[in-house]
Amino acid sequence: MIHSRRSFLVGVPTLAAAALAVPSASTAMAAPPHQSPISIRSRSAVAAPELPELVVDYPSHVDLRIHYVSRDSADPAACTIRDHEETVEAQVPPGTATVHLGDVRYELLQFHFHTQSEHVLDEHRFPVEQHFVHRGPDGQTLVVGLFLTGGGRGGTLQDSVLLELPEDCGKEVDKIGADLAGALPHDLSTFRYDGSLTTAPYSEPVSWLVLRQHRAITDSAITNFQQLFPQGDARELQPLNGRVVHYRKQS
């Protein structure tokens, strides 16, 4: 069977993907939204060993520029509005980090954080969720989601970023020589589904690969980020609307 790139990403059968890609005028308005984040139930996820493995090519030494993201730059008080539209983002130099699915290459643009986790796994919310945002050769968006918990011993990329956050919207932090290669767990098993951005304009489609294995960081790193967003910066859960979550085991 010949699969489209989208079907390889999230496991949508080719014919269904084609139907979604070119909807008729009568069905386009009726098509339910495929928004993110969602609640993931591991027992309901469909095993999909035929999907391509996630191949990560992140460097052990990369220079990052970390800044506070305000979605309303015209508002001088925007930095005091701490909601799901705001976050702390680390920009990655172009061409330095990629992931591959099959023969398709996705370049890492940036990563950012949300508290509490936006996705829910088996009815459990994690203290923080990290999103690695990638762009494909035809402008596709692919996001790798990683759950972060406390109790870690330190020394991770996440610790180094979250313990030295920008003071306000107007300042940036340069992180020299960050270890991006060690940011992800060894177990790269993922839940995959077709969704959206979790901030405005909530664009679709976005291919989501949510890692099953979480990463432990220090309690102080989690606390430092949560103090920046005392009310959290996570979007509310969205309905599945008939979507199927696939599980690609990879360890």
Contacts of 112 (CB under 8 A, 6+ apart): 69, 87, 88, 89, 90, 130, 131, 133
- Residues 205-246: tens digit of each pLDDT: 999 999 999 999 999 999 999 998 888 999 999 999 999 999
Could you tell me the two tokens for 107?
Answer: 């370049």
Does 231 reside within a domain? yes
Q: How far is CA 192 from CA 5, 132, 170, 249, in A?
A: 13, 14, 36, 11
Domain count within the chain? 1
The closest of 110, 76, 77 to 93, measured between CA atoms, is: 110
Q: Parallel, antiparallel, or unpaired: how do β-strands 190-195 and 128-135 relate? A: unpaired
Does 9 reside within a domain? no
Does 20 reside within a domain? no
First and final CA of the chain: distance in angstroms?
Answer: 26
The closest of 143, 126, 123 to 191, measured between CA atoms, is: 143
pTM value is 0.87
How many alpha carbons fall within 13 Å on the CB side of residue 18? 6
The answer to whether residues 121 and 190 touch, using CB atoms and an 8 Å cutoff, is no
The closest of 149, 162, 150 to 213, measured between CA atoms, is: 149
Could you tell me the two tokens for 163?
Answer: 């313990």
Does 6 reside within a domain? no
Q: Which amino acid belongs to residue 26?
A: S
- Residues 6-52: tens digit of each pLDDT: 444 454 333 233 333 344 444 445 679 999 999 999 999 999 999 99
> How far is Cα 122 from Cα 102, in angstroms, rounded to an integer?
29
Angle at CA of residue 239, ends 236 and 241, nearest 5°? 160
The answer to whether residues 73 and 39 touch, using CB atoms and an 8 Å cutoff, is no
Does 192 reside within a domain? yes
Q: Which amino acid belongs to residue 142?
A: L
| Residue 143: domain span | 35-70+81-248
The answer to whether residues 145 and 212 touch, using CB atoms and an 8 Å cutoff, is no
Q: Output the domain CATH number for residue 95.
A: 3.10.200.10
Does 13 reside within a domain? no
The confidence score (pLDDT) of residue 15 equals: 26
The closest of 238, 234, 236, 237 to 113, measured between CA atoms, is: 234
Q: Which residue has the higher pLDDT, 126 or 26?
A: 126
Does 17 reside within a domain? no
Local confidence band at 111 (pLDDT 50, 70, 90 cut-offs): very high
- Residues 136-165: tens digit of each pLDDT: 999 999 999 999 999 999 999 999 999 988
Does 236 reside within a domain? yes
